[in-house]
Amino acid sequence: MSISQQSGPATPRSNNHGWLPYALGAATFLVVLGTFGLIAGDWFVRNIETRTLVIAIENSESTMSQTQDSVSEAFDAFGGLDNPVAADREALVTELANVAGYAQLSIADAGDQVASVLVMPWHTNILEAQDAYVTHNLAWQSYMERAAKDPIEFTETQADVNDTFVAVEPALTDAIPQPALFDLVNRVAQIFIDGYPDPADETGGLTQDAGFESGAFASLLGHQIFFPMS
């Protein structure tokens, strides 16, 4: 007679993949954390790049402002003379030419600093702001080159200087990261508050050139004094 075998209750098999959901969750967390870190890191780098660019632009604008002040002082000193003679007019022309020659070099150096700011190639809005300001700086260099040869340029409206400065504002404003660090919003706004010496210009446009009325100063100095001599 055979002996019947009674099977006992089945023992559940252990789940060899019970760790999988935890591993997937951990991996997802690390991916999210890494992505957030990359985004945060890129945002911080954008702020650093923009701050460096703004500092370079501030230095360039300061150089241009000093040039405007020097030109104004030269005109004021000549205008304060009771009876200017030919020697006085000649001294003024020499002074203005020297101011322009020095300014051309210092403004070019400031422009090189702007152009040398390192910006990641995918930060296109910052690159566009950099290019826009370098174009403006080059316009000033050309302005100073002409003024060094013939200071009558200081009495002429400089459309290229003014137009390129106007073009910088939207480009630089768009380059400010959001949210911005380092007080960038206010610093960028201040560049354009300080950059227009005559915001109430009677011609109806904002100007950044020296802004001296051609008629007033050409008459004061003698029309022929600024023109090249044969």
Residue by residue, DSSP assigns 147-189 as: HHH-GGGGGS--HHHHHHHHHHHHHHHHHS-SS--TTHHHHHH
Tell me what pLDDT residue 221 has: 45
Q: 107 in the Ramachandran plot: left (φ > 0), alpha (ψ -120 to 50) or beta? A: alpha
Q: Cβ neighbours of residue 156 under 8 Å, at least 6 residues apart?
A: 209, 214
Q: How are the residues of the chain apportioned to helix, strand and coil, as percentages rounded to the nearest 5?
A: 70, 0, 30
Q: What is the largest CA-CA distance in the chain?
A: 147
Tell me what pLDDT residue 79 has: 82
Nearest of 14, 64, 35, 94 to residue 168 by alpha carbon: 64
Q: Cβ neighbours of residue 134 under 8 Å, at least 6 residues apart?
A: 111, 114, 115
Global pTM value: 0.75
Tell me what pLDDT residue 160 has: 94
pLDDT in tens, the chain (230 residues): 444 555 555 555 555 556 566 555 555 544 554 555 566 678 889 999 999 999 999 999 999 999 999 998 998 888 888 888 888 888 999 999 999 999 999 999 999 999 999 999 999 999 999 999 999 999 999 999 999 999 999 988 899 999 999 999 999 999 999 999 999 999 999 999 876 655 444 444 455 665 555 444 544 444 333 332 22
Nearest of 111, 108, 130, 134 to residue 119 by alpha carbon: 130
Count of C-beta atoms within a 10 Å radius of residue 28: 10
Helix, coil or strand: residue 16: coil
Tell me what pLDDT residue 225 has: 34
Tell me what pLDDT residue 229 has: 27
Domain ranges in the chain are: 21-226
Tell me what pLDDT residue 172 has: 98
Tell me what pLDDT residue 202 has: 46
- Cα(53)–Cα(130) distance, integer angstroms: 7
Output the six-digit token pair for 49: 């790049």
Tell me what pLDDT residue 64 has: 94
